Amino acid sequence: MLRLAKLTGDDKYERFAVTVLRLAASQIRRHPQGFGRALSALEFHLGRTKEIVVIGEKGNVEWSRIFCDGICPMRLLCCRRMQELMRDTIPLVKDRGIGTGKAAVYVCEDFMCQRPVTDVAELDGLLA
């Protein structure tokens, strides 16, 4: 629900998720080893996350390697295919396009996006 709130910008999903975390808080404190997903959700809620919008053709090996290597729980990834399917419902991808004809990646925090990146090395630096 927290990821959905980040993706859509709709606070009702965040309120629902926080309510669930509050209801489970006493159990989480007593048995943290049994609530790994809840602790991950709490970290996602309290930490600094990056929203990443990828605009471009599917199958770019260089871009895929950056996003698929390792676990990145504090990132929300939204790809071109999603943009085509849900253009009007996801504010994060609205009005994002490819100006140069090359694949472009937008790195954002709280819906504030940096200029699009078209170079893999530059993107790697932004995500570090």
pLDDT digits (tens, 9 = 90+) for 51-72: 887 777 666 656 666 666 655 6
**Whole-number pLDDT of residue 19:** 96
Q: pTM score > 0.75 for this model?
A: no
Q: Measure the CA–CA gap between 39 and 70, rounded to whole angstroms.
A: 19
Please tell me the distance from the alpha carbon of residue 103 to that of residue 16, in angstroms, as a whole number.
36
Instruction: Kindly indicate the confidence band of residue 30, based on its pLDDT and cuts at 50, 70 and 90.
Output: very high
The residue among 1 and 60 whose pLDDT is bigger is 1
What is the phi/psi pair of residue 118, to 5°? -115, 0
Predicted local confidence at residue 26, as pLDDT:
94
**C-alpha dist (Å) from residue 54 to 34, 50, 92, 123:** 35, 13, 11, 11
